[in-house]
Chain A
Amino acid sequence: MDFENVLILIQKELRDALRNRWFLLYAVAFAGLSLALAWFSVSGAGSYGVAGFGRTTAGLINLILLIVPLMGLTLGAMSLAGERERGTLVYLLAQPISGAELLLGKFVGLALALSAALAIGFGLTGLLMAVAGGGGDFLVYGTLLALSVLLAVASLSVGFLISAAVRRAATAVGLALFLWLILVYFGDLGLMGTAAVVGLNVQQLLALALVNPLQVFKIAAVLNLRDNLEILGPAGIYAFRTYGGALWALLVGLLLVWIVAPFALATAVFRKRGVI
């Protein structure tokens, strides 16, 4: 692995992200919505500063659950399939670089771009709260940003896998949107419905939730905010009692698995099919 090549591709991916309309739209939308959320949070509290960070952080969790996976999945899905469709993938791989270098460079570049977009959104929101005099726990806020980055990169990794597997960018984006819908739906309504109809016990309910990276993020985010999971009902209480102090490691570990496993699979698929 030639890391100089990887670095060159990371730099190019970052520059491309700044010129990518979708990326800019997502970044602006996320920053705008989180700012609006912060504004309403502090306004709703009657005056600036009352529970500003806590309310905003709680509100941000739902915003992140909707927007961040959408960003990661669609940008990942467009990446390889888009280059394949435009013919630039063939041309890049005709240069003295390996497929693994190309994939790693593109992935890390996009992951950094996504992280920067989230950091800007979080940063502006945090700045508004600070200016408004909101007292609060910056560590909790910072941890939420870190969890959001993990969720974004996990979604990107799944989008990358889709992109490696299909030929056309439109197909890849369509599949990514479909998966996003499934993950979002499966998060709350799907789980509740399944639990009610099939009669799942609490362990099965927790296991099903942990299969979904959005749910893993949600549990971690709530744990970050409240230090317990009672708000998530019996499955949350069960998780907290069963795993205790290891719950953080389990949740972060699961998000990391969602980053590494799809990317590794995408590399294998890409190697098998080549540039076509």
Chain B
Amino acid sequence: MIEVRNLTKRFGRFTAVDDLSFTVGRGEAVALWGANGAGKTTAVRCLLNLFPYEGEITVNGLDARRQSKEVRRLIGFVPQELSFHDDMSVAETLVFYARLKKAPDGFDFEPLLERLRLTEHVQKRVGELSGGLKQRLALAVALLSDPPILVLDEPTASLDIRSREEFLTLLRGLKRAGKTMVFSSHHLEEITALADRVLLLEGGRLVVDAPPDQLERQLNWETTLHLYLPDAGIDPALQTLAGLGMPVSRNGRGVRVQVRPGAKGEVLRALHEAGLDVDDFSVE
């Protein structure tokens, strides 16, 4: 559905995106993941042809540079910064963008408003809305012409934990409904909740292209496992895990173990076989 080949974007001497290539299949959710300045937002904006770039981008067979209007008709965009005209009401905003997106005459906004729980806010000025409501309005605008693709740039960056969870639930529903998604994020939990594939960007370059559950292995990340045990079990647990060659140390009400990728279960299994109870654990 989306094919990006050798995408490069330079701002003066600074290369924001460097020879990036990837594809996104129909119905797939792909996350662009990386630290601030990794090139995620720039890559997203190139998909929308918002500034000149080198390389090729095709969406559904259309050239994103030469047929940018047609391409943008296939894409619903949710920006990182909530950039509506604050003096317009929610209703005026929806009508304005519906006209630009050529929504059919007599388009019924009600189902969309209900789905995104915006009905009661429809007469409010956009400037009066909370961050969570603005983000839902952005999603409503993105869905106005029922585009097959959603492009979201750090969609939950400005949301509190509760609003973020609500928004992710909406996005999961859209993914189940068959929308193709490309989204940028620096939240790992957002990526694991939504993405089929993760593209890790560093300095504008693609470092890893992998499903979320294989990220740890691909990156060879060590995880820190905090295990909380009864007092009597802490010393035996230290001995058991040290005996297996695991880097382990005492940590308050339990132990802390450095675990290689994909080996968290080994730690729990070893303690279980040694007859030691684990009250709780957390992963860092």
**Docked pose: A86 CA to B81 CA in angstroms:** 9
A93–B51 CA distance with the chains assembled, in angstroms: 10
In contact, B77 and A274 (Cβ under 8 angstroms): no
- CB within 8 A of A93: which of B11, B50, B70, B99? B50
Q: Which of B21-29, B82-90, B182-190, B233-241 contacts A (4 or more CB under 8 A)?
A: B82-90
Give the CA-CA distance A91 to B73 in the complex, in Å.
Answer: 14
Least CB distance from A184 to B in Å reads 32
CA distance A140 to B50 in the complex (A): 47
The interface bits of chain B over 87-116 (1 if a CB of A lies within 8 angstroms of the residue's CB, else 0) are 100000000110111100000000000000
Quick check: which of A37-45, A94-102, A204-212 contacts chain B, the rest being far away?
A94-102
Q: How far is the CA of A97 from the CA of B85 in the complex (A)?
A: 17
Chain A residues with CB under 8 A of B72: 94-97
Contact A98 B68, beta carbon cutoff 8 Å: yes
Taking the nearest CB of chain A, how far is it from the CB of B2, in angstroms? 15
**Contact across chains for A274 and B100 when beta carbons are under 8 A apart:** no
A16 within 8 A of B: yes
How many Å from the CB of B72 to the closest CB on chain A? 4
Across-interface contacts of A2 in B (CB, < 8 A): 69
Assess whether A47 is interfacial by the CB under 8 Å rule: no
Near A by CB (< 8 A), chain B positions 3-62 give 11, 45, 48, 50-52
User: Contact partner of B100 among A8, A90, A276, CB < 8 A?
Assistant: A8
Report which of B45, B52, B70, B101 forms a contact with A95, defined as CB distance below 8 A: B101
Q: Is B254 an interface residue (CB 8 A)?
A: no
Central interface residue in B50, B84, B97, by most chain A CB within 10 Å:
B50
How far is it, in angstroms, between the C-alpha of A5 and the C-alpha of B73 when the chains are bound?
A: 13
Closest residue on chain B to residue A276 by CB atoms? B51
* Bound-state Cα–Cα, A16 to B102, Å: 22
Contact of B84 among A16, A91, A275 (CB under 8 A): A91
B79 within 8 A of A: yes
A88–B50 Cα distance when bound, in Å, is: 13
A77 to chain B, nearest CB (A): 19
Find out whether the CB atom of B48 lies under 8 angstroms from the CB atom of A87.
Answer: no
Interfacial residues, chain A to chain B (CB-CB below 8 A): 2, 5, 8, 12, 16, 19, 86-88, 90-91, 93-98, 272-276
Known: A95-B100, A96-B102. 17 other contacts (CB 8 A): A2-B69, A88-B85, A90-B79, A91-B83, A91-B84, A93-B48, A94-B50, A94-B72, A95-B97, A95-B101, A96-B73, A97-B72, A98-B68, A272-B52, A274-B52, A275-B50, A276-B51
